[in-house]
């Protein structure tokens, strides 16, 4: 168990992705921590040249803690599609291009799956991964990971969430992440069990190790 906890004070959320920022703010809301994003602090986006989600998450958290002198929390995440040998995976953000427009990224996923003749749901299995890293200014780091398994739909369904949400149908559910409310996608159940999304699941482990609810 970690000796480092996030109990009070300011924490940097080391992301420039507005969708992630919104979800991380929701997930941290019950803990009474003051949050500031890397964007609000004007911190540059570091080059993410790791070979694993956890490495890229560490690169972002360490850069933000060094630049700000505050503990920093980052998420590196992506969708891994079995029929595409795990692509887009680490490159999930890159498939959207510099404009960060997910319509072409989703179109590319559909085209790559069609090229392989993957039309049936069992040929379109995928999972999301979230690696969360907290880095403290004294050099200490903690890593937590979460995954959610599902299927890539043939049609875009729903306008909620961000990124690949409108084409990801989590196993055991009949709504895509794009059709779900924020609470359904990443809310933390009252019974203390992990939530649904990859980020909610990674966050559940982080909360158990490093967070305490005030009062
Ligand atoms: P990065 O971790 O900032 O390199 O980018 C992660 C990319 O993965 C995002 O830009 C999205 O394309 C995708 N992604 C990660 N988490 C989610 C999610 O919860 N929903 C939809 N897309 C996601």
Backbone angles phi, psi at 18, to 5 degrees: -65, -35
pLDDT band at 190 (very low <50, low <70, confident <90, very high): confident
DSSP 8-state assignment for residue 171: T
Encoding tokens for residue 185?
């996608």
Feature table: binding site for Mg(2+): 76
State the average pLDDT over residues 85-107: 94
CA distances from 116 to 13, 20, 123, 181 (A): 38, 31, 9, 32
Distance CA 49, CA 127 (A): 22
- Tell me the best of 93, 149, 177, 184 to mutate to test the pocket of ligand 1, counting ligand atoms within 8 Å of each CB and taking the most: 93
Average model confidence (pLDDT) across the chain: 94
Q: Which of 46-50, 194-198, 208-212 has the lowest mean pLDDT?
A: 208-212
pLDDT higher than 70, residue 137: yes
Which CATH fold would you assign to the domain 10-210? Maf protein (3.90.950)
Q: What is the mean pLDDT of residues 156-184?
A: 97
Residue 169 has pLDDT above 80, yes or no: yes
Residue range 11-32, pLDDT digits in tens: 999 999 999 999 999 999 988 8
Each domain of the chain, given as residue ranges in start order, spans 10-210
Say whether pLDDT at 7 is over 70. no
171 is known as an active-site residue: no
pLDDT tens digits, 60-92 = 999 999 999 999 999 999 999 999 999 999 999
Q: Does residue 166 have its Cβ closer than 6 Å to ligand 1?
A: no
Instruction: Specify the residue with its C-alpha closest to ligand 1, atom 5.
Output: 93
Query: Residue 9 gets which letter from DSSP?
Result: S
The rounded Å distance from CA 215 to ligand 1 centre is 34
Binding residues for substrate: 15-20, 77, 162-165, 185, 198-199
CA of 159 to the centre of ligand 1 (A): 15
Residues whose CB falls within 8 Å of the CB of residue 122, separated by 6 or more in sequence, listed in order: none
* pTM > 0.85: yes
Task: Choose among 177, 134, 174, 184: nearest CA to 159.
Answer: 177
Closest residue by Cα to atom 8, ligand 1, is 78
Ligand 1 atom nearest to CA at 90: 4
């Amino acid at each position: 168990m970690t000796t480092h906890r996030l109990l009070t004070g300011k924490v940097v959320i080391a992301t420039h992705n507005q969708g992630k920022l919104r979800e991380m703010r929701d997930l941290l809301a019950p803990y009474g921590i003051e949050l500031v994003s890397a964007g609000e602090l004007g911190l540059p986006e570091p080059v993410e040249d790791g070979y694993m989600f956890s490495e890229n998450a560490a690169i972002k958290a360490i850069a933000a803690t060094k630049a700000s002198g505050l503990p920093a929390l980052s998420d590196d995440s992506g969708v891994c599609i079995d029929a595409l040998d795990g692509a887009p995976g680490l490159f999930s953000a890159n498939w959207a291009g510099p404009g960060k427009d997910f319509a072409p990224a989703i179109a590319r996923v559909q085209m790559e799956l069609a090229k392989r003749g993957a039309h049936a749901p069992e040929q379109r299995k995928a999972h999301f991964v979230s690696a969360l890293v907290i880095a403290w200014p004294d050099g200490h780091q903690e890593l937590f990971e979460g995954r959610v398994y599902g299927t890539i739909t043939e049609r875009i369904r729903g306008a909620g969430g961000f990124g690949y949400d409108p084409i990801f149908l989590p196993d055991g559910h009949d709504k895509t992440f794009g059709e779900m409310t924020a609470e359904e996608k990443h809310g933390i159940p009252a019974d203390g069990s992990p939530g649904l999304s990859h980020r909610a699941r990674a966050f559940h482990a982080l909360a158990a190790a490093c967070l305490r609810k005030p009062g």
